[in-house]
Structure 1
Amino acid sequence: MQESIKLLADWSGWIVAIIACVALFYKPLNQWFHRKIIRPDQEQDKKIEAMEERIAATESWQRKQQEDIQVRTKENYILITAMKACLEAVSGKKCNGNVDDAIKHIDDFMAEQAHKTKSRMEA
């Protein structure tokens, strides 16, 4: 009788240990099973979606940067033309000196930029 009680205690100990292991590792094993066996592409799909979001954010940032560059280019053009007008007004009052040279430099710069813009448009 004592041996049967000891045998029953050993078996019940093993059963409790197995149940404890299953309870402890059920969730990680279940997640692994779903990730690797049932839906292996789901994790890859999440990575692809995250990458697409990053690409969209980068493209949006690039568009904004391009718009800022265009605005600054227009501002610089307005400033240069205003500066040229001021220099021409000073030149008209016969206060020449370096004024004529500055006007020539501005004209050369604007002609150079016009040719660069034209060659970019053709490409």
Structure 2
Amino acid sequence: MDKHILIIGAGIAGLAAGCYARMNGYRATIFELHDLPGGLCTAWERKGYVFDGCIHYLFGSGEGQPFHAMWQELGAVQNRPMINHDEYQRITDGEHTLGSIWSAGIRASTLTWKWWTRPRR
């Protein structure tokens, strides 16, 4: 009897599950509601801005990092350079940097405290 796995959702987890199923001799069918695979690992546009929902999936993907072996097994990082920036994300109000998320943790600027404690209307 042929082993067959049904997978609901074509996000990173569903796609990885499908790949691992096939690598281990199973048939796999992935069902996805959206018209594109990738789940949160896609980009979309709203009011002239492009939102990349994928960056958090790449955090920790460089050589020697926790997810690197998985990406290697799935064939996703071969011959692709990983650039490790010190600053992972910046939080801004459009004029000032309120804080940053760094590879080594979170650092908040003094403006953050002033912004969060300002009087609200």
Q: Aligning the two structures, in what range does the TM-score lie when normalised by the shorter sequence?
A: under 0.3
Structure (1 or 2) with the larger CA radius of gyration? 1
**Structure in which a larger fraction of residues adopt helix:** 1
Normalising by structure 1, we get a TM-score of 0.21
**Structure in which a larger fraction of residues adopt strand:** 2
Larger RCO: 1 or 2 (CA < 8 Å, sep 6+) = 2
